[in-house]
């Protein structure tokens, strides 16, 4: 009897897998053939490709507007048509208001952040946090950002004097981290100068650890939320949760007790807490504050670093574009007596075009995702996307498709010139679109622009790496707002100083 039962186990598993992998066939949706037990993600498990690049390659294996794939055991729809994708994110948002990533408010409160929350809970939190990201608030934060900028220049000057080869991605990342510490965590870190800074050591190194357990965590958050529930792992290591909780608890307690104010995000959270005091429904707990501050670090650090370093990389391979941008910066500085103001940053058209083009060629997130929250009949098709289905929008593939962006490999800020516009604006959404788009987009763009203006006003960059960027095969998936496909690619840039009136030496 025991032998028979034992023999039945593999048969039951086989039948279950066959059932799982016949999902798209049963629903009559065109799909790619899956492989047991990878679905369509074998290359990710074999560490040959990151998740973002694997999705990009699946995109090229079909010509359908949308088709079915399997993210391991999870059926998902990959939307190739950028107009349908936009419609899903904007007009038909009511059918797709969630992301369907791991979120466990009770057992793992740090996972219940703005990126992961669903339905009404997301809507309420988004409404609370939106006023903290207005242009007025950013304007107030500018002096804090420029203080960090001064440290960046102090760090770069001696390197420029030596005409050394340095890793500009690393330097840009340290600059962005110091701005995040200052603006979101409320204290001054010194990642630019100190590799042992606790912010750099604990936060960055722990969140970039890639042990087996860490890989289960990241895959669990994005690809198989059930995995975390099954293994009872939290989405983040305890050491990281404690580190962030300690900083935020101290900052909020200290300022609330001593009536200290500072122009930063922690202050805005304190104001929100004060305004909602006495209303348990509305008040943000310290844990909620900490979970979201951590999310802002995750969402804002790699994305802004990538925007700065990829712009430098591309400009170093197009010296005439670099010179054009430097001229615009020099003229702005001259008009403002060498000062950078919020308005002057926003007036620079070519700078804006460069950042736009960088975000096209290297979007901060290679994919966007939504969960279908009620059955959706796809317009002009007989396909119905069923409630609970994961929907993937391959941002990188769309941005690199010549149908929407002619000559996509060419780095051409000019394609965003208003008068001679040479791209399809309905296929361009590097920050997502609709109510669930990036809440920090202005902040990310501002920090990236400040970094670029400071660096290009003083130095000229040359790259030691080829123009064509090869994306490293990385880990399954990284956290929200990071670029798995970016790992270790930006090599080193050699740079030398501009002379006093801004002309290029050497």
Chain residues binding ligand HEM by CB under 6 A are 89, 114-115, 126, 295-296, 299-300, 303-304, 307, 359, 364-365, 368, 430-432, 436-441, 443-445, 448, 481
Hey, which residues does 459 pair with through a beta bridge?
Answer: 497
Least separation in angstroms between CB 452 and ligand HEM: 12
Q: Which is nearer to ligand HEM, 129 or 383 (CB)?
A: 129
Whole-angstrom distance, CA of residue 244 vs CA of residue 199: 10
DSSP string, 209-231: ---HHHHHHHHHHHT-HHHHHHH
Q: Which is nearer to ligand HEM, 143 or 466 (CB)?
A: 143
Least separation in angstroms between CB 390 and ligand HEM: 13
Q: Which is nearer to ligand HEM, 430 or 476 (CB)?
A: 430
Least separation in angstroms between CB 307 and ligand HEM: 4
Contacts (Cβ under 8 Å, ≥6 apart) of 277? 283
Least separation in angstroms between CB 178 and ligand HEM: 14
Hey, which residues does 495 pair with through a beta bridge?
Answer: 461
For residue 446, give the DSSP letter. H
Least separation in angstroms between CB 198 and ligand HEM: 21
Least separation in angstroms between CB 461 and ligand HEM: 20
Q: Which is nearer to ligand HEM, 56 or 460 (CB)?
A: 56
Q: Which is nearer to ligand HEM, 72 or 294 (CB)?
A: 294
Least separation in angstroms between CB 445 and ligand HEM: 6
Only one residue has tokens 């010296």, namely 319
User: In 3-state terms, the chain is what percent helix, strand and coil (to 5)?
Assistant: 55, 10, 40
Q: Which is nearer to ligand HEM, 148 or 498 (CB)?
A: 148
Least separation in angstroms between CB 133 and ligand HEM: 7
Burial of 330 (0-12, 13-18, 19+ CB in 10 A): middle
Least separation in angstroms between CB 437 and ligand HEM: 5
Q: Which is nearer to ligand HEM, 300 or 394 (CB)?
A: 300
Whole-angstrom distance, CA of residue 342 vs CA of residue 144: 12
438 annotated among ligand-binding-site residues: yes
Only one residue has tokens 């941008």, namely 325
Are the CB atoms for 293 and 187 separated by under 8 Å? no
Torsion over CA: 435, 440, 442, 448 (sign)? negative
Only one residue has tokens 């304190």, namely 270
Are the CB atoms for 198 and 191 separated by under 8 Å? no
Q: How far is Cα of residue 241 from the mean position of the Cα atoms in its chain?
A: 20
Q: How far is Cα of residue 270 from the mean position of the Cα atoms in its chain?
A: 26
Whole-angstrom distance, CA of residue 471 vs CA of residue 255: 44
Least separation in angstroms between CB 217 and ligand HEM: 19
Using CB atoms, what's the residue nearest to ligand HEM? 432
Please give the C-alpha separations between residue 199 and each of 29, 205, 301, 389, 481, in angstroms, as whole numbers.
48, 9, 12, 38, 18
Q: Which is nearer to ligand HEM, 300 or 413 (CB)?
A: 300
Long-range CB pairs of 413-422 (<8 Å, 24+ gap) are: 413/321, 413/350, 413/353, 413/354, 413/356, 413/357, 414/353, 415/357, 416/352, 416/353, 416/356, 416/357, 417/353
Q: Which is nearer to ligand HEM, 23 or 178 (CB)?
A: 178
Q: Which is nearer to ligand HEM, 456 or 498 (CB)?
A: 456
Are the CB atoms for 433 and 87 separated by under 8 Å? no
Sequence ranges of the binding site: 438
Sequence ranges of the binding site for heme: 438
């Amino acid at each position: 009897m025991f032998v028979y039962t034992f023999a039945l186990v593999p048969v039951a598993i086989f039948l279950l897998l066959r059932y799982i992998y016949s999902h798209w066939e049963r629903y009559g949706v065109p799909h790619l053939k899956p492989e047991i037990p990878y679905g369509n993600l074998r290359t990710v498990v074999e560490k040959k490709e990151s998740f973002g690049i694997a999705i990009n390659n699946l995109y090229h294996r079909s010509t359908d507007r949308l088709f079915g794939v399997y993210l391991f055991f999870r059926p998902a729809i990959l939307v190739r048509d950028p107009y349908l994708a936009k419609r899903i994110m904007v007009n038909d948002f009511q059918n797709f208001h969630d992301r369907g990533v791991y979120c466990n408010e009770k057992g793992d409160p740090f996972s219940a952040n703005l990126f992961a929350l669903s339905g009404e809970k997301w809507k309420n939190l988004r409404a609370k946090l939106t006023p903290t990201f207005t242009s007025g608030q950013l304007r107030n934060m500018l002096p804090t950002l420029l203080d960090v900028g001064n440290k960046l220049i102090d760090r770069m000057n001696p390197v420029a004097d030596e005409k050394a080869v340095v890793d500009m991605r690393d330097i840009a990342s340290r600059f962005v981290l110091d701005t995040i510490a200052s603006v979101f965590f409320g204290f001054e870190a010194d990642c630019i100068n100190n590799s042992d800074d606790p912010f750099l050591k604990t936060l960055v190194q722990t969140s970039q650890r890639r042990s087996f357990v860490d890989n289960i965590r990241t895959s669990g958050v994005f690809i198989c939320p059930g995995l975390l529930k099954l293994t009872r792992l939290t989405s983040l290591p305890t050491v990281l949760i404690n580190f962030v909780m300690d900083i935020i608890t101290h900052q909020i307690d200290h300022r609330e007790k001593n009536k200290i104010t500072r122009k930063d995000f922690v202050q805005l959270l304190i104001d929100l807490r004060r305004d909602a005091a006495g209303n348990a429904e509305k008040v943000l707990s310290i844990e909620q504050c900490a979970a979201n501050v951590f999310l802002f670090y995750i969402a804002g650090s790699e994305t802004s670093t990538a925007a700065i370093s990829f712009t430098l990389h591309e400009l170093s391979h197009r010296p005439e574009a670099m010179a054009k941008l430097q001229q615009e910066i020099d003229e702005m500085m001259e008009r403002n007596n060498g000062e950078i103001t919020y308005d002057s940053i926003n007036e620079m058209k070519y700078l804006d075009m460069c950042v736009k083009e960088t975000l096209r060629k290297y979007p901060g997130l290679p994919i966007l995702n939504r969960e279908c929250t009620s059955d959706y009949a796809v317009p002009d098709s007989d396909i119905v996307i069923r409630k609970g289905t994961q929907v993937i929008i391959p941002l990188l593939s769309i941005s690199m498709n010549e149908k929407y962006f002619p000559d996509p490999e060419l780095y051409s800020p000019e394609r965003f010139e208003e008068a001679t516009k040479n791209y399809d604006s309905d296929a361009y959404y590097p920050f997502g679109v609709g109510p669930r788009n990036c809440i920090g987009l202005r902040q990310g763009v501002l920090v990236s622009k400040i970094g670029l203006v400071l660096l290009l006003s003083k130095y000229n960059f040359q790259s030691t790496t080829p123009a064509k960027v090869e994306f490293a095969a990385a880990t399954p998936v990284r956290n929200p707002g990071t670029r798995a496909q970016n790992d270790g690619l930006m090599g080193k840039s050699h740079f030398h100083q501009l002379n006093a009136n801004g002309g290029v030496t050497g």
